[in-house]
Amino acid sequence: MARDSATGCGCGCEAFTKTMAGRREPQTGPPGSAAPVRPEPRMLTIGPANNARGRGATTNAVASTSLSHPDVEPVRHSSPGTTGEPSEDAVDHGDAAPSRLEAARQPPERTGGAGPALLTANPYPIRPPRPVDTLAVWGDPGTLLRRPRYVIEQARDPATIAAYRRLRRAVFVDEQGMFDDGPAGDLDEADDDPRTITLVVRDLDGPGGGEVIGGVRLGPTPAWSGDDIGWWHGGRLAVAAHARGRYAGVGGALVRAACAHAEAAGALRFDATIQPSRERFFGRLGWMTVGPTTVRGTPHVLMRWPIDRVAMLAATTKAPLGALLGALRPGGAGFVGDDGAPVPGTGLVAACDAILPTMVDRDPFWAGWCGVLVNLNDLAAMGAKPLGVLDAVAGPTVSRVSRVLAGLRAAADGFGVPILGGHTQLGMPSALAVTAIGHTETPIRSGAGLPGHAVTVTADLTGRWRPGYTGRQWDSTSGRRTAELRAMLSLTGRHRPVAAKDVSMAGLVGTLGMLAESSGCAAELEVAAVPRPAGVAAGDWLTCFPGFAMVTADVESRQMPGSSPAVSARCGRLLSGSGVSLLWPDGLRTPVLSGHVTGMGTA
């Protein structure tokens, strides 16, 4: 099939959030002089930040804001989990280009050797720019007055950790008498775990000047001796007695910082044992009561912070599909919600996926590779052998489109699948859609599972995070040989489980939820049994695009074959009902998806 191409003019309007770096020089005259001083020229430059958060991005957005005013003191931010120091982007870097004023002060060789500088230097010293509360600049000066006079930061040096432990001893041993007055005090095995994180509150303007006045610790739970599976525990929340009245809200700020830190570290379950008198306080902060427990013989309450990472991902990527596609019944009876659609009477299966335009802009080659990858995964989930792919690609420039096509060619060569044809459009906003054609006489359905079927996860654990997509996209396929890639693609077709679905952008848990939904079932996933690359956080792995991964359901007696580069493990079960729950080593189940994922119903 030939490739169709066209050129044309088009306008793509994309909104980028740009934060700007500006510099304001002092406008003061000589002491005692009433004559105004002419302001010096000011420049606003928008360009790549030295520490841009958008790793791999091709946009020219600056990653932070630095506004200065000579009469405003710098703000120490007190957001949970931050240090209050200016970010790297908000300070002058030694290798930054000199300003026009600085260039005027340099000898001729610094200004190109063209004789004297054209700008007259200001003879008065220039104060370096200092960060200012942006809201105050925009007309809300009250924020400067309302800012707390403390900062929350992670304790990284032995002196700070020792100060936090002395504070704990003063509260839990001396004040409350919960622990014996011995050398160990309230110390336990969590303090010896190198994964334990300590957050502390420092006083900014009290008599101590930087004194540690509060703290909390958090980390993987001591109740599980294996590697970090996303089950975290917080505790030893303490605030110095003299600071409780002076600094209102310190305890709540510490709790919120601990929750944010745990979620950022990939936790999917975050527990704490609370004294009964503090249950209402934690409840007001959003914590849920699990039940009574004891600590050293003293009654406590087990509470949990609700982490909605899985639910939010499913809501943003899959929830609208039912209303959008319900009338179409894509795939036909028995195949609604499947990754591909059988072509009636032919033995052919077609799959089609579009790649996010922002991804095409950021990483055109990777977008082209993934356009082939995700479609071949769709065919593999249905047990179909790939025959070829077609693509439709658009871009504003020849360079952009050529890089997308290079990724498509590399993936097609890597998987040993021909590109049959497609369509190319220039002078348009970036876009990419790929269709794959495969063959099988008996497609495997995702909606054929039944309550009681065992759930198996098969995933390729080699590789690494794609640069610029850490925690979101795992690249295991670009380094594989063709024989290995073909072996993984054929695995489901050779084993032929009752139901199968490849893991998509909804993540592993969301994909299991879609398989369960199309099967008219609920599902539970045993977190500790899920195959996962070493050193990858559970929260990231269960919600990312893993490159190659399959979720299958089958009778208990049939195991996935082990003759594949991918790793398989039994780690769940289909149940009666709807939704998905995570099963933890202590036997507790935490619901993460309630009801249907897509709303498309059963197959």
Specify the higher pLDDT residue, 18 or 530: 530
Of 87-101, 260-274, 405-419, 496-510, least confident by mean pLDDT is 87-101
Give the angle 218-190-255 at the CA atoms, nearest 5°.
Answer: 20
**CB of 268 within 8 A of CB of 538?**
yes
Give the angle 149-154-157 at the CA atoms, nearest 5°.
Answer: 110
Mind listing the pLDDT tens digit for each residue in 462-475? 999 999 999 999 99
Mind listing the pLDDT tens digit for each residue in 239-259? 999 998 888 889 999 999 999
Gyration radius (Cα) of the chain, Å:
29
pTM of the model: 0.74
Of 140-144, 382-386, 554-558, least confident by mean pLDDT is 140-144
Of 177-181, 515-519, 547-551, least confident by mean pLDDT is 177-181
**CB of 432 within 8 A of CB of 404?**
yes
The pLDDT of residue 134:
67
Taking residues 295-324, what's their average pLDDT? 89
Taking residues 292-311, what's their average pLDDT? 93
Q: Give the pLDDT band of residue 79 (cuts 50, 70, 90).
A: very low
Specify the higher pLDDT residue, 369 or 323: 369
**CB of 266 within 8 A of CB of 231?**
no
Of 50-64, 102-116, 489-503, least confident by mean pLDDT is 50-64
Q: Where in the chain is the domain with CATH 3.90.650.10?
A: 310-338+445-603
The one-letter amino acid at 251: G
Q: Label residues 255-294 b or e (16+ Cβ within 10 Å = b).
A: bbbbbbbbbebbbbbbbbbbbeebeeebeeeebeeeeeee
Task: For residues 582 and 308, give the distance between their C-alpha atoms in angstroms, rounded to a whole number.
Answer: 12
The pLDDT of residue 127:
64
Q: Give the pLDDT band of residue 116 (cuts 50, 70, 90).
A: very low
Tell me: pLDDT of 121 over 60. no
Q: Where in the chain is the domain with CATH 3.30.1330.10?
A: 339-442
Task: For residues 594 and 319, give the distance between their C-alpha atoms in angstroms, rounded to a whole number.
Answer: 12
The pLDDT of residue 206:
67
CATH superfamily name and code, 339-442 = PurM-like, N-terminal domain (3.30.1330.10)
Torsion of CA 504, 505, 509, 515, to 10 degrees: -40
The pLDDT of residue 132:
62
Tell me: pLDDT of 353 over 90. yes
CB atoms within 10 A of CB 398: 12
Tell me: pLDDT of 184 over 80. yes
Of 2-16, 177-191, 242-256, 484-498, least confident by mean pLDDT is 2-16
**CB of 442 within 8 A of CB of 349?**
no
Specify the higher pLDDT residue, 244 or 99: 244
* Burial of 205 (C-beta count, 10 Å sphere; 0-12/13-18/19+): exposed
**Average pLDDT over all residues of the chain:** 80
The one-letter amino acid at 420: L
Q: How far is CA 82 from the centre of its chain?
A: 18
CATH number given to 150-307: 3.40.630.30
* Phi, psi dihedrals of residue 540, rounded to the nearest 5°: -70, -45
Tell me: pLDDT of 543 over 80. yes
Alpha helices in 265-296 (DSSP H): 279-284
The class that CATH gives domain 310-338+445-603 is: alpha beta
Task: For residues 260 and 311, give the distance between their C-alpha atoms in angstroms, rounded to a whole number.
Answer: 17
Specify the higher pLDDT residue, 360 or 79: 360
Taking residues 161-186, what's their average pLDDT? 92
Specify the higher pLDDT residue, 105 or 558: 558
